[in-house]
Amino acid sequence: MIAVLRRELRSFYATMSTWVVTACLLLAFAVLTVIYQLLYGSTSVAYTLDGMCIAYGIALPLLTGKAALRARRGGADLLIASLPMRPGELLLGRYLATLTVAALPLAVFLPVPLLLSPFGEISLSTAYVACLGLLLFLLSMTAICSFLSALPTRYPTLLGLGAAVLLFLLALWKEPFASVPVLRGILEGLNPYLTAADLFVGYLELPAILWPLSVTAFFLLLTRLCLCKPRTWKTQGRVGLSAAVAAGALALLITLNALLSLLPFSARSLRVSGDGFLSLSAQTLEFLDALEADVKLYWFVDGGELSADRDLHNYLLRYASASPHLTLEILDPDDTEEFQKTHSAITPTDMTLVVEGPERYRQISVEEMTYYQNTQLGLTLSAAEFQYSLLAYQSGDTQNAYYTYGQYLTLYAAYTQAYFDGNAVLSRAVRFVAAETIPYVGVFSAEKATMPDTSLLSMMEEYGYGLRGVPELSEIPEECDLLLLLAPKEDLTGAEADGLRAYLAQGGRLLLATAPGGTDHPKLRAVLAEYGLSAPTGLHIVCEDDPNYFVYGDDFAYPYYIWSHIAPHAITGGFDAELLTISAHAITVEEVAGVRQTPLLYTSSKGFVVEYANEGSSGVPSESRDKYLTGVLAEKGESALLWISSTGTLSDFANVQSQGGNHLWLHNAMDYLMGISTETLPITGELMPTSLLRVKIGAFAVFCVVGALVPIGVLVAGGVRLRLRKKRSLS
């Protein structure tokens, strides 16, 4: 075998094509490193190695095909077959020679992560596990190309290239096999592109190591059968035995790796990176240690456990193992018949978590576990808001409320950082489902009123409120501790008005938000009048004339964006932020026996109103200046009614502008109305590792020059060697 290896290596480097292929591979390594590590600043070499899989998919068929044609044309196969040598030795010698030629550029690349580590936080363990993934790719792909080259064809290179392209396309297009998990698992395991990718993400996967080794052994066996001497067996016997051996080897291969897939995730996967990504905080462990109720975590992933994100899977396993009262189960949304029998109210979707306790459940999206913070702008946005902002700006949708955020986030992109908030989000859900009793907020029907914005709903979930829809005010549930009525789209019916009165008479609590022009509802006004509250008729907007209390800049002024004056009250105890009121109308107050009225939000004494004849007309500002109320609390007996004359006050936009002040005030108000005191869990978000490589211009130039000189040096060395060899042969 050693003799064959030496002879094959000499044959490889006796032609200029091998030197060209080697130089091209080195150049591909250099170009991809410059693009991903030096220009984009990525700390992961996975992108570079993933691109090299494509480059090797072209290079390996060229090497094996060229070697096969050279051996056939030169009569080397017949010469070696006449020697007292086993076919297996011949096969291994050729295979190792091809592998050596292909692996040399990878060996040259190995010091690169070490050389880049001074410029950023590169995880060397992750980098070299990724290099192991590329090496395993070379092992299996070389075996496949060697087998195809051993077939009796005049175009082995084209056959190898076709196989490489087909495997690459199957790696991209896996949907046809997604519905058959076993078939999908086998096809993914047999595809070198997919098994290599499994090792590029920072996990040392046992199946990702054994599958390539098994594929290598299988195709080497097939190649061994192709190299048997024709006279050894009769034709039919040789074909039958070859087919039987190949079928048995394939069955053994599939059985072995199928058994591996049955192992628990923690037993077959080890994260090698030491960056602590998605770790459990001390506050989370303290919370879980005190958990007493049994809670189940259901994670829905398209394709089930085998398709689950490894980082999140590893995190959820550690989260569930932190308490004996937690269990984790991963389900495919398309295979949940048993689950649906007992959870008919839940509609499972990809990448959602259902946290189920003894009495209730909460469904959360994996997307909610991430938020973005821009220190330069003082912005904190959820993952959804962040995406809305960028999409609005990129599409040029200036009417979108998030357009301005997208513009600023793009301008100050370097100051935007992502935070993993899974500890807090998941723990809040666990606390909610495990609590014996919770405060319920009823939200009036979306068909007849406006639904709260996303961040307001998130705030209520953060503080442990339960949310329930109230389809009809005539039948408000008894367990509704607070009724939320936002911008009614039409007047109440007689039954709805009576139902609202009955609810308040029994000690109910109402949070009402209206908008200019949205209070001309006689039956609703009649209910409010019983608490001494009303609004001037007609369409008008309250504005502020004191520049200290409205939003303005160098070339704009929005007097209807008012920084509200906030009256001292139990609601504002400890409140040290600002509250932004957007497009409010005035509220008037008249004394009513038995009703205690407390103005909470108002303008300065320089407030004024802009009157509109209709929605399409130009506004006429009033000349007088006065204080206008925009938020009033009215209490009668055990009932309470908080009226805010601006739905914009409850919007995501206003909360972002006030840096969370609006939602903090609203939380205090809702707690006061329900007579409770809720607090969020003291669990903070974890900065996700998004650090970049910062290579100085001098080092950048050195990397580029060396990256270009090494391939050129290989070509020069190849040319010199071949020239010297030619001179020796002539002499």
Percentages helix, strand, coil for the chain (3-state, rounded to 5) are 50, 15, 30
The pLDDT of residue 551 is 87
SS3 417: strand
Give the CA count within 13 Å in the CB-facing half-sphere of 279.
Answer: 12
309-353 per-position pLDDT tens digit: 888 888 898 899 899 999 999 998 888 888 888 888 888 889 999
Give the CA count within 13 Å in the CB-facing half-sphere of 566.
Answer: 20
The answer, yes or no, to whether residue 232 has pLDDT greater than 50, is no
Positive or negative CA dihedral for 612, 617, 622, 626?
positive
> Whole-angstrom Cα distance, residue 41 to residue 37?
5
> Whole-angstrom Cα distance, residue 629 to residue 565?
10
465-513 per-position pLDDT tens digit: 998 889 889 889 888 999 999 988 888 899 999 999 999 999 999 999 9
The answer, yes or no, to whether residue 230 has pLDDT greater than 90, is no
The pLDDT of residue 542 is 95
Range with the poorest average pLDDT among 105-119, 207-221, 246-260: 246-260
Range with the poorest average pLDDT among 295-299, 640-644, 718-722: 718-722
The answer, yes or no, to whether residue 227 has pLDDT greater than 80, is no
Strands 440-444 and 482-486, sheet pairing: parallel
> Whole-angstrom Cα distance, residue 277 to residue 275?
5
Q: How far is residue 199 from each of residues 196, 203, 304, 574, 628, measured CA to CA in Å?
A: 6, 6, 19, 51, 64
279-300 per-position pLDDT tens digit: 888 899 999 999 999 999 999 9
The percent of residues in the chain predicted with pLDDT above 90, rounded, is 37
SS3 193: helix
Phi-psi category of residue 396: left, alpha or beta, with phi > 0 → left and psi -120 to 50 → alpha? left
Q: Could you tell me where in the chain the CATH 3.40.50 domains are found?
A: 437-674
pLDDT band at 244 (very low <50, low <70, confident <90, very high): low
The pLDDT of residue 343 is 85
DSSP 672: H
Q: Could you tell me where in the chain the CATH 3.40.30.10 domains are found?
A: 282-366
The answer, yes or no, to whether residue 703 has pLDDT greater than 90, is no
Range with the poorest average pLDDT among 202-211, 314-323, 559-568, 582-591: 202-211
389-425 per-position pLDDT tens digit: 888 888 888 877 788 888 888 888 878 888 889 999 9
Matching CATH number, 437-674, of 2.60.98, 3.30.750, 3.40.50, 3.30.450? 3.40.50
**Residue type at position 196:** A
Closest CA to 256 of 189, 195, 339, 198: 189
Number of H helices, E strands in the chain: 25, 26
Range with the poorest average pLDDT among 77-91, 132-146, 468-482: 77-91
Residue 537 burial (10 A CB sphere; 0-12, 13-18, 19+): exposed
The domain 282-366 having CATH identifier 3.40.30.10: the answer here is yes
Query: Which pair of tokens denotes residue 677?
Result: 């005191």
The answer, yes or no, to whether residue 75 has pLDDT greater than 60, is no
Closest CA to 152 of 219, 226, 222: 226
Closest CA to 57 of 180, 259, 196: 196
Give the CA count within 13 Å in the CB-facing half-sphere of 258.
Answer: 12
User: Which residues share a beta bridge with 587?
Assistant: 629
The pLDDT of residue 533 is 95
> Whole-angstrom Cα distance, residue 675 to residue 669?
10
22-34 per-position pLDDT tens digit: 999 999 999 999 9
The pLDDT of residue 233 is 44
Query: Which pair of tokens denotes residue 106?
Result: 């990878």
Other residues' Cβ atoms within 10 Å of the Cβ of residue 702: 13
The pLDDT of residue 319 is 92
Mean pLDDT of 253-281: 65
> Whole-angstrom Cα distance, residue 517 to residue 693?
55
CB 453 within 8 A of CB 648: no
> Whole-angstrom Cα distance, residue 580 to residue 724?
82
Sheet holding 686-687, edge to edge: 379-382, 370-374, 416-420, 686-687
> Whole-angstrom Cα distance, residue 381 to residue 409?
11
Tell me what the pLDDT averaged over the chain comes to: 85
Furthest CA-CA distance within the chain:
122
Range with the poorest average pLDDT among 211-225, 421-435, 449-463: 211-225
Mean pLDDT of 184-211: 78
The answer, yes or no, to whether residue 241 has pLDDT greater than 80, is no
pTM tops 0.85, yes or no: no
CB 717 within 8 A of CB 19: yes
The pLDDT of residue 288 is 93
**H, E, C per residue of 443-460:** EECCCCCCCCCHHHHHHH
The answer, yes or no, to whether residue 176 has pLDDT greater than 50, is yes
Query: Which pair of tokens denotes residue 74?
Result: 């030169």
The pLDDT of residue 197 is 82
Mean pLDDT of 525-529: 93
> Whole-angstrom Cα distance, residue 316 to residue 590?
56
The pLDDT of residue 231 is 44
Mean pLDDT of 39-46: 83
